A and B are shown apart, each in its own frame.
Chain A
Amino acid sequence: MRVKWIIKYIILTGLLFPLLMMIGWSITSGWSWPSLIPQGFTFRAYSYVLEPTTGVFKILINSMILSIVVTALTLLVSIPAARAIAFYDFKGKSVVKVLILLPLIVPMLTVAMGVHLRFIQVGLANTFWGVVLIHVIPGIPYGVKILLNVFELNGNKIETHARILGASPLQVIRYVTLPLITPGLIIAGSIIYIASFSQYFITFLIGGGRIVTYAMFLFPFVESGDRTMASALSIVFILSITLVLFITEKIVGNFYEKSSRYYV
């Protein structure tokens, strides 16, 4: 019991310590070795964040909208793909299963540079939708892989049963398939959202600097060594993600009755 308790707190401290450091850094004017606590207090970084003229919140909101659109689009593509792989037999299925994971193996930079030329040709470069499309690519492996497992776990017998009871194919999707995969959708959606929200370089490349996301806004501060600013902005970054995940869980959970009742 005692050992378990100690291990629990070691892990918890290990996870929270960097966060505490960051909070410390965000409110100090200087924190040099060997002092244990920050020297000098400043609210500089937070007043910058809260100051309307700096546009931090505008960028944050834009970035959130972008990532939400990316998440929705990725899931929209992933659901039918995962379902098809789970339930249908077709030629080259095992190859497709590997290809799906490719965006995780091939560096995104390579993909983005290849796609960039084509995007310029079709006029997608430097646009919102261009950035959305390039963000969808790294999200797909997560979406398809997670939902594939969910579909395989649920099986399609229960869907067939809904058909026997008189549901049309569309009604099956609405009343049976979607509610059953909701837990998987929340998990996959969260990962896709975080992946999109954290993208820096491909946004920069495809967006051409016109589409500014929060990660892009944050990066120069980290690079220039302004730790106070970088820490404060990072905290906002973490809070915004937590907020989105929390709201999603609440809304979806309530919409499809109690989420704890799912089998998956």
Chain B
Amino acid sequence: MAIIYLKNINKSYDNKVVLKDINLIINEGQLVVLLGPSGSGKTTLLHGIAGMIDFDQGDIFFGDQLMNHVSIDKRNAVLVDQNLLLFPHMTVESNIAFGLKMRRVKKSVIKQKVDELIRLLELEGHEKKYPNELSGGQMQRVAIARALAIEPEVLLLDEPFSKLDIMLRKNMQEFVRALQKKLNITLIMVTHDQEEALSMADQVALLLYGEIKQYASPNEIYEKPVSKEVADFFGVRNYFEGKIIDGEFHSPLGRFSTHLSDCEKITFMFRPEQISFGEKQKDSIEGIVKRRVYSGDKVMYTIDVRDFEIYVSSFIHKDFKVGEEVALQANFDKAVYFI
């Protein structure tokens, strides 16, 4: 069941288009990630769903209810800002209870709900503390508990883990993911970190320049990008253009056998890790190592092949020096291509 439906959303600031014809359907209980570089409009979209800004055009539906003119406090879509914005003058308990208190819920009910959330978010022992006495991860959990307290239709997270250090970030990602599944809540999250998006999401919407370029499962968006832009974002570096004649791919780099049928123009794409070093043989591409960048677990090579640059990443046990001649292997049968 679609719980959130965005229809033809447009938004511009000072004649600069921020969001362009956004259409998005989010199903109940899903974790959807809006992925994109800074300035792609993802946060604007999230703020619009929360009701913090109005879109210029387009409709937002929660279920079958039109939400365009529902005010921010009645929307039941709660945003957790990247700055968390906990109330500094309230204890952890009062922070979590805030939304319920504003709704004039009975004290005993609030108490019960707060206790439940404290347990759920593993904040036992911190009830009476103030936000400035908490660690980054604890503050994050308080902010999420505060949002969950009012049982929102949808929980919105804006770059929730960007300020945490790497270890804590991984923990919180797993924690939030597990929590979302356990409570079966609908969650929309904004991030610029593709790894975070791919590891957490049910569905990823890639936003570039205010447009949704692809909306698919993590697996699909990574394996089968629909355009070069999407492929670029997910780390594809090598594109081979050419045509196929009689089961052979003709390109400036040479000829390679393929099972694909003939076509006039085709582009194959390879991630740096999809090309490997090998022995010199019929299908191999020969070139010279131009650059070598060491990055811990991997080495990234730039290989010069007849005025082309091919990017190859390799594990450390195969080490080549700059200037060395190498042979590369690429599997055109398994590669993703555009026609």
A-side residues, CB < 8 A to B, are 157-158, 160-168, 171, 175-176, 179-180, 182, 256-258, 261-263
Contact across chains for B78 and A164 when beta carbons are under 8 A apart: yes
A180–B90 CA distance with the chains assembled, in angstroms = 10
Q: Which of B71-90 contact A (CB under 8 A)?
A: 72-75, 77-79, 81, 83, 85, 87-90
Q: Which of B83, B85, B88, B101 contacts A261 (CB 8 A)?
A: B88
The answer to the question of B9 belonging to the interface, with a C-beta cut-off of 8 Å to chain A, is no
Q: Name the interface size band of chain B.
A: 20 to 34
16 residue pairs A–B, Cβ–Cβ below 8 Å: A160-B52, A164-B51, A164-B73, A165-B98, A165-B102, A165-B147, A166-B103, A167-B98, A175-B98, A175-B101, A176-B87, A179-B87, A182-B89, A256-B89, A261-B130, A261-B132
Q: Which of A162, A175, A180 contacts B88 (CB 8 A)?
A: A180
A179–B89 CA distance with the chains assembled, in angstroms = 7
What residues on B are CB-neighbors of A171 within 8 Å?
Answer: 102
Our count of residue pairs bridging A and B at CB distance below 8 angstroms stands at 66
A42–B17 CA distance with the chains assembled, in angstroms = 82
Q: Mark B37-66, 1 if CB is under 8 A from A, else 0.
A: 000000000000011100000000000000
Contact across chains for A164 and B50 when beta carbons are under 8 A apart: yes
A111–B150 CA distance with the chains assembled, in angstroms = 54
What residues on B are CB-neighbors of A257 within 8 Å?
Answer: 89-91
A157-B83, A160-B52, A162-B102 known; 5 new pairs, CB 8 Å cut-off, are A163-B72, A163-B73, A166-B73, A166-B74, A261-B88
CB-CB nearest in chain A for B133: A261
Contact across chains for A261 and B102 when beta carbons are under 8 A apart: no
Smallest beta-carbon distance B255→chain A, Å? 60
Contact across chains for A180 and B85 when beta carbons are under 8 A apart: no
A38–B73 CA distance with the chains assembled, in angstroms = 69
CB-CB nearest in chain B for A258: B130
The answer to the question of B136 belonging to the interface, with a C-beta cut-off of 8 Å to chain A, is no
Check A166/B89 contact, CB under 8 A, given A157-B81, A161-B81, A261-B132: no
What residues on A are CB-neighbors of B150 within 8 Å?
Answer: 165-166
A164–B72 CA distance with the chains assembled, in angstroms = 6
The answer to the question of B146 belonging to the interface, with a C-beta cut-off of 8 Å to chain A, is yes
